[in-house]
Structure 1
Amino acid sequence: MATALRDESPIFLRRRDLIAAGWSDRALRFAVETGALLRPRAGVYLNADVSADVVDACALGGRLACVSELARRGVFVMDSSVLHVHLHAPRLKRTALGRPTRRHWAQLRRQPHPSAVAVSPLDAVACAVRCQSPRAGVATIDSALRNRVIDPGDLDELFGMLPRRYRVLRRLLDARAESGPESLVRVMLRTLGASVELQVSIATVGRVDFVVNGWLIVECDSAEHHASWDAQRRDRRRDRAAAALGYATLRLIAEDIMWHPDEVREALVGILSSRPAKR
């Protein structure tokens, strides 16, 4: 049973199908009572290792969608605290989950398996672009490309699914970004008219996130990779080596990039105005 239900895009099984496969009602009750199976709604079962978001989407009679499905797949989204669910049609009687939920009813471009508990990756990305700010949409597409949730060949179809005003975002995409915050900073730098090089290897320094205008190194740091003192010592030694070569270094933290973009922009404008671009 566990193998039958486990898949990158989870599926649910209906009671009638399980009974036809040889399960008894008693065996199903026992599996639910012992935690081997989950029963999100009457007559529907899930493997016990699915996420709470999948369970809640299934409880609503829908499919996990938009930023919620992308977060499940490891794609960057700005905020996944609200559950996004795709439903076939508006329901007169709404199931209360006790958590913020956003329901979607738009027609899907790619029809998922009838028992799938999530929409297709392409539909999830298209929805997430509309549900987020433009800069976050770019970061999400970058992440989806880098993680091979979608591929470059999907981009024509993706932008064909979006209103025309979103087409300007396509030229801002770059799947070399190794994190969502990196994508956000890259978009910010390009809107400032700066010359931006990504993932640059510098002798005695190593690889850096950005070299801007030929002289400014910008690093996007997260607690995951830079919290320990050992990591911070390495960072400072890299900065010292960069200074010896004539580079200035600006370290930005992920939470500021995401939630305090105006302050980050001010810092970038201030430091970039202090020195002309190298030619």
Structure 2
Amino acid sequence: MSYADLRAGGATRAGIREALATGTLHRARRDVYLAAGAGERAVAAQRVGGRLDCVSAIAASGIFVLDRTRLHVQVEPTRGRLRSPVSRRRRLAHDPDVVVHWRHAGHGDAHSIPLTEALRVAVRCQSPRASVAMLDNAFHQRRISAADVHDIFAGLPAKYAVLASLLDGRAEAGSESIARLLLRGLGCRVQVQVSIDGVGRVDLLVDGWIVVECDSRAHHGGWESQERDRLRDLLLAERGYAVICPTANMIFDEPEVLRRAVQGLRGGGALR
């Protein structure tokens, strides 16, 4: 909102000052005000001079993205005087943590571009595995349809089309998607969300006998939860399955650990 918008809505000068002082209103830059509920990243994007774009817009919508460290901002090509995301009093100099997407984007809301447009831009801004994991998660959450996927790739160069064939909306987390792609790169046969009698569903089943459970602290915290997981592991071992449980951070930051573990099991390991 602009200052004129606030006044037209009935706010007094004193009321605006009080709202700024109490934090219920933020001044992102000159004549740009946001309500407190807009979120820190949206405020930072407006302070730069635009809206959340690319992976920043996607992360703000609750969809998985692998790298959230940089702020991606859509800025109109005619815009000038960009500011630092942390201070409206400083110009935006070279900042490796800010990615400016200079382009027109007339649709969306005041803080972010439309989701399908953000997804299309993000495919070009990430690694192939990160892009597939992102789109898998959007599909899993039913935020996009098969028609949306078609539209996303129709607006991309032909070299990206191969990624569409790798999507699998059954993956329940980004770590599962990235692990799946990593293991298929080894030539493994990888099944997703497989139900095993007497045990339940497992994240990934590799070559019909290696179970990979992609653990995260959010879903496997607490001793009771750990005991249930260990019982599942024992039940799987009873049925002849080997079980490995890399954490999400291991999959993201040290994928070679998972790669070597599966290679060791497939090669017979210490039994050779």
State if a TM-score over 0.5 links the two structures.
yes
Q: Distance in 2 between matches of 1:223 and 1:129?
A: 27
- Match of 1:222, SS state, is coil
Structure 2 residue identity aligned to 1:63: R
Q: Structure 1, residues 5-31: CA drift from partner, whole Å, max 9, x if none? A: xxxxxxxx2222232233333322222
Q: Which of 24, 27, 30 in structure 2 is aligned with 1:39?
A: 27
Q: Distance in 1 between matches of 2:154 and 2:138?
A: 17
Shift of 1:192: 2.3
Q: Distance in 2 between matches of 1:117 and 1:198?
A: 36
Aligned to 1:180: 174
Q: Structure 1, residues 190-244: CA drift from partner, whole Å, max 9, x if none? A: 2222222211121221211112211111111112222422222212211111111
Give the superposed CA RMSD: 1.9
Given that 2:25 and 2:33 are in contact with CA atoms closer than 8 Å, whether structure 1 keeps it comes out as yes
Q: Distance in 2 between matches of 1:227 and 1:22?
A: 48
Structure 1 residue identity aligned to 2:258: V
- Match of 2:124, SS state, is helix
Q: Distance in 2 between matches of 1:106 and 1:260?
A: 35
Shift of 1:42: 2.0
Aligned to 1:5: none
1:96 counterpart = 2:84: yes
Aligned to 2:47: 59
Structure 2 residue identity aligned to 1:149: R
Given that 2:77 and 2:104 are in contact with CA atoms closer than 8 Å, whether structure 1 keeps it comes out as no
Q: Which of 151, 160, 163 in structure 2 is aligned with 1:169?
A: 163
Q: Distance in 2 between matches of 1:147 and 1:229?
A: 29
Q: Distance in 1 between matches of 2:204 and 2:79?
A: 48
Aligned to 1:251: 245
Structure 1 residue identity aligned to 2:108: P
Aligned to 2:71: 83
Structure 1, unpaired ranges of 5+: 1-12
Shift of 1:91: 5.2
- Match of 1:225, SS state, is coil
- Match of 2:213, SS state, is strand
1:112 counterpart = 2:108: yes
Aligned to 2:92: none
Structure 2 residue identity aligned to 1:140: M
- Of residues 50-59 and 17-26 in structure 1, the stretch that sits farther from structure 2 once superposed is 17-26
1:158 counterpart = 2:152: yes
Q: Structure 1, residues 136-191: CA drift from partner, whole Å, max 9, x if none? A: 11000111122233222101110022221111111110111000000001112222
Q: Distance in 2 between matches of 1:234 and 1:34?
A: 46
Q: Distance in 2 between matches of 1:92 and 1:19?
A: 26
1:241 counterpart = 2:238: no
- 1:108-147 to structure 2, matched below 5 A, reads 108=105, 111-113=107-109, 116-147=110-141
How many residue pairs were aligned? 260
- Match of 2:84, SS state, is coil
- Of residues 198-207 and 62-71 in structure 1, the stretch that sits farther from structure 2 once superposed is 198-207
Q: Structure 1, residues 93-121: CA drift from partner, whole Å, max 9, x if none? A: 3312357211111444x7224xx111111
Q: Distance in 2 between matches of 1:56 and 1:232?
A: 39
